[in-house]
């Protein structure tokens, strides 16, 4: 089951990200807290996956900008699933919930930095091919991708500017 996260879910959400990212990236739980504390997360776009009466996955969507512009767009990150529940469709369901939620808000794009093989299945394409340049903090230019949710909207152009929590 996928549902909107509530305040009471925060301890379980932080545990999901601690276990999902582990030693590979121990900063993810801190990132989650900072994004929430700074009010950058759209509350209706923070989702949890629930199985066996516990939170087993989480994704949030927060605002990022375009350098030199007033335009903002939503970024899907972080996405985490407990190791014992990975490869069972929870991550995919969370991505789909994000895409649907962002579309319902009327936002034309959703940005992500991640594996193109994984996110390509959901319609994400390289952002730079559409005129959105990766931010300096991006690990790999090819990993910054965007899903176009409204083809009728003129897409912004320029360098993506991550929010402060993603910059450090």
CATH classification for the domain delimited by 2-167, as one of 3.40.1010.20, 3.30.70.270, 3.30.56.10, 3.40.630.30: 3.40.630.30
Quote the pLDDT of residue 161: 95
**pLDDT tens track, the chain, 168 positions:** 999 999 999 999 999 999 999 877 888 999 999 999 999 999 999 999 999 999 999 999 999 999 999 999 999 999 999 999 999 999 999 999 999 999 999 999 999 999 999 999 999 999 999 999 999 999 899 999 999 999 999 889 999 999 988 887
Q: What is the DSSP string of the chain?
A: -EEE--GGGHHHHHHHHHHHHGGG-TTHHHHHHHHHHTT-B-GGG-EEEEETTEEEEEEEEEEEEETTSS-EEEEEEEEEE-GGGTTSSHHHHHHHHHHHHHHHTT-SEEEEES-HHHHGGGT-EEGGGGTEEPPTT-S-GGGEEEEES-TTSPPP-EEEE--HHHH-
State pTM to two decimals. Answer: 0.94
So where are the chain's domains?
2-167
């Amino acid at each position: 089951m996928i549902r909107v996260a509530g305040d009471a879910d925060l301890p379980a959400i932080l545990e999901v990200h601690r276990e999902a990212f582990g030693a590979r990236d121990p900063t993810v739980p801190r990132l989650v807290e900072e994004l929430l504390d700074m009010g950058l997360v759209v509350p209706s776009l923070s989702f949890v996956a629930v199985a066996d009466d516990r939170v087993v996955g989480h994704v949030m969507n927060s605002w990022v900008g375009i350098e030199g512009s007033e335009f903002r767009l939503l970024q899907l990150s972080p996405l985490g699933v407990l190791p014992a529940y990975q490869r069972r469709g929870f991550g995919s369901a969370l991505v789909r919930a994000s895409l649907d939620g962002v579309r319902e808000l009327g936002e034309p794009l959703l940005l992500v930095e991640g594996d193109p093989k994984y996110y390509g299945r959901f319609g994400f394409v390289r952002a730079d091919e559409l005129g959105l340049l990766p931010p300096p903090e991006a690990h790999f230019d090819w990993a910054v991708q965007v899903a176009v949710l409204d083809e009728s909207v003129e897409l912004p152009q320029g360098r993506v500017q991550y929010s402060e929590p993603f910059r450090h």
